[in-house]
Structure 1
């Protein structure tokens, strides 16, 4: 058999390593024999600089082995019954070009030449009328020739990781294309002819230099996935709202200042808008996101999250990292599907940081509790600000500074804060005992010692807030509150804690910020269930690493704004720490630049300094 314009016979091993051995020849012959039977030939990763001539003529030339074997008994060697080559993989070689002889493989449906050194493509590609998948990614192409636009059978075209400045206008002729990846190139504009790719389901244009996305993209009625991450896009056309089939939209690391209303994107499940310059998400935006399960708006300038976020009843992940949020809508806690809320790096004023540090479930629980409190307050208040509800037992504790007993009984919580009181009426604690209160807040008063009457609540008390008072020491009787899980002593004048506190075996959180401590009190290291320790804004100058290592479940440690100059490398063994805050100290080791990178970087640095 012959072919028109056949070139002179060539070495079938051309392009393989400079190995002339019979072994190399045998390997190629084996591959070709198997390919005639399966229709698939894989020559990837063989350091080819040229494709052997015998590959192009695999379905034309008579195999050498049949020239000496005329047996009709073996059906597998009947070369005239061979399968035409449909799949050719030449990936991860050293090819700089492809021969025009590729036209001699008209049955090809898959051609994979990714990860080579191709600088051009043969015009003969246009003759491959059955080609469905073409992968020419990770080469050195600076332009896509017109011939690619003539392969109308293509359903998948991958051109990522080249040096393309643009796509040819006739890319729109690939009317059967379903998957187009042109990421990691140098393109600054996309052709309007993309509008004709009405079967396109996946489009990846990420990591280019695009300044805008053409409004014609809104005509891609089958599009389900669009990735335009890492470009220079400043605005989106309103036509994006017409992408009814769109499920995933990635627009991270652009320059967007405004998001159009995606009014018809009823199937949108994931929306990634992080690392832009968005200043708002409006209620109008959110009411069209009913199907969204992942919403990423991290690293923007959003200052308010609308209450309409509750319309996203299928929301599972919400990333609000590094915005300008001072609070969150309480209704967020009522979204049952929500599994992850990330709000790090926001100037939260309405939610304590320790609540945020406890994770998503605790944050949702807090938000729901605020809803319940607001519901109670809807029944009105007295002129002095004391809540009243039907069935109340009255005000206990005197006019003006009294406590609504109904609320104490209902919420199991006693709030006698911000009264500037030097002592507290015993009748209040008697009422708290009957209510079996679990939470007592005596903060922002003028107390110098723990009120004796508080002991009446010791059997039930779980959380005690004595912050913003005038304690210079803490009476050892604090050790009798055996059920305590949270103790807040911030903003007092304490220089130590009593050793008797070691009896508080259930204590999970201590806040002793803004006091006069020069070291972390020794008793702290005996509280083995401790998870959260705030000792920021004191006068601490040394860190007891071995003591902290004994706190095996400690997850949050705040040592900011103390006098620490050296952090012992052994602190790096506290790998259970999820949040380690060291800012505001005159540290020379580790350097401020390392501290600024966060907990993981600090621990890694400290571990590298441990002398083994």
Structure 2
């Protein structure tokens, strides 16, 4: 027989279903956190931060209310303030104002949650150095965050930010700022006040231009602006003198940016709309090691590609290049050359599969096979194998681009008539036979770049060099300099000075490794008083 049903029978579980279970943290974790100052609550499925976490350093521990003796490891009165709180990979939708009860926090990790806003109380965490807010749903950043004077790292990638507060520039100690994967269309002008910044990530936003205020970021070493809507790069970016890595992939650039940044080693401009490489842009890349140009529309490589004598990796994958200049093989440090996806002619496909060294060897062979009496076409400049007496001077380059290139020849002097080139800005004389700094160059005050690497230069006159007030790049690497005059440190316009590969004893290698500024400071310290 079945039990009779009662119409008024109560649901015996109803009380449990209605009651909300309070989120708690295992007591052992809290006890350990009082000793170490670190509390890791990542990946625990939390929908809110338990109240006892906020009150960790306020409430009296349970041990204090028990009538027991304490060992050395259980002295609750010697607890440490919480300095590191990890709450990543939970389901937090909000953060309570009670966060102010943890003023000793140095690291606060809230990444990978569901936060759509932040409490103004965050501004009271004045000891905070690292704030990780990536992978949330933030649409704005509270102004109070900009008052955190000790903040060094701010991670905001993968949010919904459309703008940033102008007060951002108050974060005077910020060294790393990640704003990637947001909806930013512009940047606050105060960004230029972040003078301690070393890494700035702006990729995957909606930026159509970069503000000139970036030029004030003299310590930024890495700048990532990939996957935006950029059509050009402002010339002011060249004032970012410490920049070593620049990412400009997946934009709408039609020209290689003109960036005479003296420390720039890695330049990524793949997936743009670049159709040609111009000498003026190439001449600026005096320290370039890696140049990525893949997935563009480049049809030809200019002979001036040989200006990049520090280049070790060149990626030209998926362009429209049909012919390779033989002079490409004269790049002294090139180790990797990527050419897949180009409609190359005159080079067997099996040769391309043998690797860079075999391809460069083949191109060098083509230089040797060129007939010595082959006449030049009217639209061709001299090649790397042209003798100085036969070379054709490219007047267009001198008048329009203000650049003169005479590398890989047998020059030992320059004619005094060159002093008439009053608008010449850049001259390349690498791999010649100069035994001294060319006399006429001291008279061309418009010069900004002088490349004299791999010659036999044994001296330079710093007093006359100081008159070249626009000279910013001087390459004297791999010469015969037995002594570097201390007065060279007074050439204050120099931003890039290359002296490697010379037989001098001072400055020492350790000083040289610190860069141009350190070398110049050292030289000034050696000037007799």
Is TM-score (shorter-chain normalized) higher than 0.5?
yes
The CA deviation at 1:92 is: 0.3
Q: Distance in 2 between matches of 1:69 and 1:177?
A: 49
Q: Which entry has the higher C-alpha Rg, 1 or 2?
A: 1
Establish whether residue 349 from structure 1 lines up as the match of residue 371 from structure 2. no
Establish whether residue 57 from structure 1 lines up as the match of residue 64 from structure 2. no
The CA deviation at 1:184 is: 0.6
261, 272, 277: which one aligns with 1:276: 272
Aligned equivalent of 2:486: none
Establish whether residue 158 from structure 1 lines up as the match of residue 155 from structure 2. yes
- What is the total number of aligned residue pairs between the two structures? 357
Aligned equivalent of 1:68: 66
284, 288, 295: which one aligns with 1:288: 284
Q: Distance in 1 between matches of 2:228 and 2:258?
A: 21
28, 31, 34: which one aligns with 1:33: 31
Aligned equivalent of 1:189: 186
C-alpha contact 2:123 2:148 (8 A) present in aligned 1: yes
Within 5 Å, give how 1:549-568 maps onto structure 2: none
248, 252, 255: which one aligns with 1:251: 248
The CA deviation at 1:380 is: 6.5
Q: Which runs of 5+ in 1 are unaligned?
A: 1-17, 382-612
C-alpha contact 2:146 2:167 (8 A) present in aligned 1: yes
Q: Distance in 1 between matches of 2:374 and 2:177?
A: 61
Aligned equivalent of 2:384: none
Aligned equivalent of 1:338: 334
Q: Distance in 2 between matches of 1:167 and 1:354?
A: 53
C-alpha contact 1:230 1:252 (8 A) present in aligned 2: yes
Q: Distance in 2 between matches of 1:75 and 1:284?
A: 71
C-alpha contact 1:250 1:271 (8 A) present in aligned 2: yes
C-alpha contact 1:195 1:216 (8 A) present in aligned 2: yes
Q: Distance in 2 between matches of 1:160 and 1:352?
A: 46
106, 131, 135: which one aligns with 2:132: 135
Q: Distance in 2 between matches of 1:359 and 1:209?
A: 39
The CA deviation at 1:336 is: 4.3
Q: Distance in 2 between matches of 1:300 and 1:191?
A: 31
Q: Distance in 1 between matches of 2:97 and 2:323?
A: 65
Aligned equivalent of 1:177: 174
Establish whether residue 367 from structure 1 lines up as the match of residue 343 from structure 2. no
The change in CA–CA distance for 1:32 and 1:341 in structure 2 (over 3 A counts) is: same
Q: Which structure is richer in relative contact order (CA contacts within 8 A, separation 6 or more)?
A: 2
The change in CA–CA distance for 1:220 and 1:300 in structure 2 (over 3 A counts) is: same
Aligned equivalent of 1:322: 318
C-alpha contact 2:63 2:76 (8 A) present in aligned 1: no
Aligned equivalent of 1:580: none
The change in CA–CA distance for 1:63 and 1:332 in structure 2 (over 3 A counts) is: same
The CA deviation at 1:235 is: 1.1
The CA deviation at 1:269 is: 1.2
Deviations 1:8-38 (A, max 9, x none): xxxxxxxxxx878xxx96x621111111111
Deviations 1:271-315 (A, max 9, x none): 000011112222222222232111101111222222232232332
C-alpha contact 1:269 1:292 (8 A) present in aligned 2: yes
The CA deviation at 1:244 is: 0.9
Establish whether residue 312 from structure 1 lines up as the match of residue 308 from structure 2. yes
Deviations 1:488-528 (A, max 9, x none): xxxxxxxxxxxxxxxxxxxxxxxxxxxxxxxxxxxxxxxxx
203, 207, 211: which one aligns with 1:206: 203
- State TM-score, norm by structure 1: 0.56
Deviations 1:77-135 (A, max 9, x none): 22221111111000000100111111111111100000000011010111111101000
Aligned equivalent of 1:574: none
C-alpha contact 1:241 1:260 (8 A) present in aligned 2: no
Aligned equivalent of 2:372: 378
Deviations 1:200-238 (A, max 9, x none): 100101011111111111111001001111111111111
3-state secondary structure, aligned to 1:85: coil
The CA deviation at 1:371 is: 1.6
C-alpha contact 1:278 1:300 (8 A) present in aligned 2: yes
C-alpha contact 1:66 1:77 (8 A) present in aligned 2: no
3-state secondary structure, aligned to 1:302: coil
Establish whether residue 228 from structure 1 lines up as the match of residue 233 from structure 2. no
- State TM-score, norm by structure 2: 0.65
Aligned equivalent of 1:126: 123
Q: Which runs of 5+ in 2 are unaligned?
A: 1-19, 376-529
